[in-house]
Amino acid sequence: MVKWRIKSFSGKHVLLLQGPLGPFFRRLGRDLEESGARVSKINFNGGDWLFYPRRSVSYRGRMEDWPNYLAQFLAEQKIDVVLMYGDCRPVHRCVREQAERLGIEVGVFEAGYVRPNYITLERSGINDYSSLPRSAYFYQKQSRREVAKPLPVGDVFWHAALWAILYYLASSLLSPLFPHYQHHRQLTIREAFPWVRGLWRKYYYHVKEREVRGRLEKEYSGRFFLVPLQVYYDSQMRIHSDYADVEAFIRYVVSDFVKNAAAETCLVIKHHPMDRAYRDYTTLCAQLAEHYGIKDRLCYVHDLHLPTAFKHTQGVVVVNSTVGLSAIIDRVPVKVCGRAIYDIPGIAYQGPLSDFWADAPNYRPNKKALQGFHTYLLQRTQLNGSVYKRLSRAASHTGVIWDSPILISNAPEGSTENMRPGELQKLPAKVPSRPVRLRQSTSGHPA
């Protein structure tokens, strides 16, 4: 699996489909052209057109006719590579089949597997569609290399909010020109307003939950399990898991926790920051706490500094969020309940969730397999940058650093280096000295 660099596209005809909100794909087109590629672009709604109006084609046909249109376009235009953002959007689901039939390469962008300073560009597909090896033994055998430290991306909220408002405004105003388009969520001007609500909630919860954060980091350190949620419309939930929605996942985890976790532990459910504008699960969590009689053991929060939380949690339970990978990199035990690229024996916990509550304090990822996986992931699929704002020091129109140097590491081998594939290291159990009583308000928050 070879990483794509900008010069990889030289001499090729590249087709761009839907990109992220904002001008990233227009800037990508300029990077590609300067590398010697020929670029074509297809737009599907007014938002796409707003950010890529020139030298583009607008598809206004019916969705059921799109696969045939795409096949004809790929053949007639002699496309060599198709690039798109996400592979589960309605207009992207047929791309892999059509491209493979014609021997055309496919590249998929996505928010980085390793955040916050990377974006993903992977061949063929991402997440559960990824072609990354799923063997701990494979990663144990990787040479010891380190990727150069990335440039920090910083806060992207304001950029993302601006692009979202402009995208949905243009999509709403120009919807008569694209009468048959189907988006992966509502595509009206109303979608711009939740971003304002999300901004208000961001600062509201930062202040409101300050006391809870302090207790988790001190009084309850080592006594709680962390459950990071995902965005309600995320394809990870809809396609790469067996849960109908986020609510179903919450119900499942809480029920299993009540049945199998020690009475002195508590459960911390964390809202996804990009979902502040759309969903609030306060009422659901309050109802579950009341139903199971765990008001003092169930905490629902919006604002946590995850790297700090990782230092104090017993373990992390996810569907397949990249937060799970971040936790694993920090050597935190992680149970994956969906399908994820990092759900590999020796890297993520492989037993059932019912056993995880008791086993988590005694397990850590295989150090050598984890190091190999992390390096391989960065080296083959990650680009330093953001899809929402440019890195000022990057010499590209996208603001992405396309060619990151690889440094050879001479660090000493760790004690876990000789483990067999899939083997986990046992650590001393962390036993709470007294019961947890986490006081968290279960009153509803303003929507």
Same domain, residue pair 243 and 359: yes
* 396 and 347 in a common domain: no
Average the pLDDT over 291-313 and give the result: 90
Residues 303 and 337 in one domain: yes
pLDDT higher than 70, residue 72: yes
pTM for this one? 0.82
Is residue 284 in some structural domain? yes
41 in a structural domain: yes
CATH number of domain containing 321:
3.40.50
Q: Report pLDDT digits (tens) over 333-384.
A: 999 999 999 999 999 999 999 999 999 999 989 999 999 999 999 999 999 9
Report the C-alpha gap between 70 and 103 in whole angstroms.
Answer: 14
pLDDT > 70: what percent of the chain? 83
238 confidence band (pLDDT: 50, 70, 90)? confident
Same domain, 298 and 380: no
Q: Same structural domain for residues 381 and 254?
A: no
Q: What is the mean pLDDT of the chain?
A: 85
The pLDDT value recorded for residue 426 is 37
Token pair, residue 385, equals: 């940058």
Q: How confident is the model at residue 441 (pLDDT cuts 50, 70, 90)?
A: very low
Statement: residue 403 has pLDDT above 50: yes
Residues 212 and 349 in one domain: yes
Q: How many domains does the chain have?
A: 2
* Average pLDDT over every residue of 115-144: 89
Given 372, 393, 424, which residue is the final one in a domain?
372
Q: Give me the pLDDT at residue 183, please.
A: 78
User: Quick check: is 447 in a domain?
Assistant: no
Residue 36 scores a pLDDT above 50: yes
Q: C-alpha distances in angstroms, 360 versus 62, 267, 313?
A: 50, 14, 10
**Whether 141 and 240 share a structural domain:** no
CA distance 178 to 415: 60
More reliable by pLDDT, 447 or 314: 314
Per-residue confidence (pLDDT) for residue 422, from 0 to 100: 35
**Residues 337, 189: one domain?**
yes
pLDDT tens-place string over residues 268-301: 999 887 777 678 899 999 999 999 999 999 999 8
Asked whether residue 433 is domain-assigned, the answer is: no
d(CA 97, CA 125) in angstroms, rounded, equals 11
Kindly state whether residue 441 falls inside one of the protein's structural domains: no
Last residue of a domain, one of 353, 372, 391: 372
Q: Is residue 269 domain-shared with residue 326, that is, in the same domain?
A: yes
The answer to whether residue 334 is domain-embedded is yes
SS3 assignment, position 298: strand
Name the residue among 299, 302, 293 with its Cα closest to residue 313.
299
Same domain, 110 and 208: no
Q: Is residue 429 part of a domain?
A: no
Task: Kindly give the interhelix angle for 322-329 and 367-381, rounded to the nearest 10 degrees.
Answer: 130
What range defines the domain where residue 298 resides? 183-372
Strand-by-strand arrangement of the 334-336 sheet: 298-301, 266-270, 224-228, 313-318, 334-336
Same domain for 383 and 366: no
End position of a domain, from candidates 372, 388, 416: 372
Confidence at 165, pLDDT banded by 50, 70, 90:
confident
Q: Are residues 338 and 381 in the same domain?
A: no
pLDDT at residue 256 is higher than 90? yes
Nearest-angstrom CA–CA distance, 423 and 28: 42
CATH number of the structural domain spanning residue 142? 3.40.50.1380
More confident site: 423 or 277: 277
> Is position 422 within any domain?
no
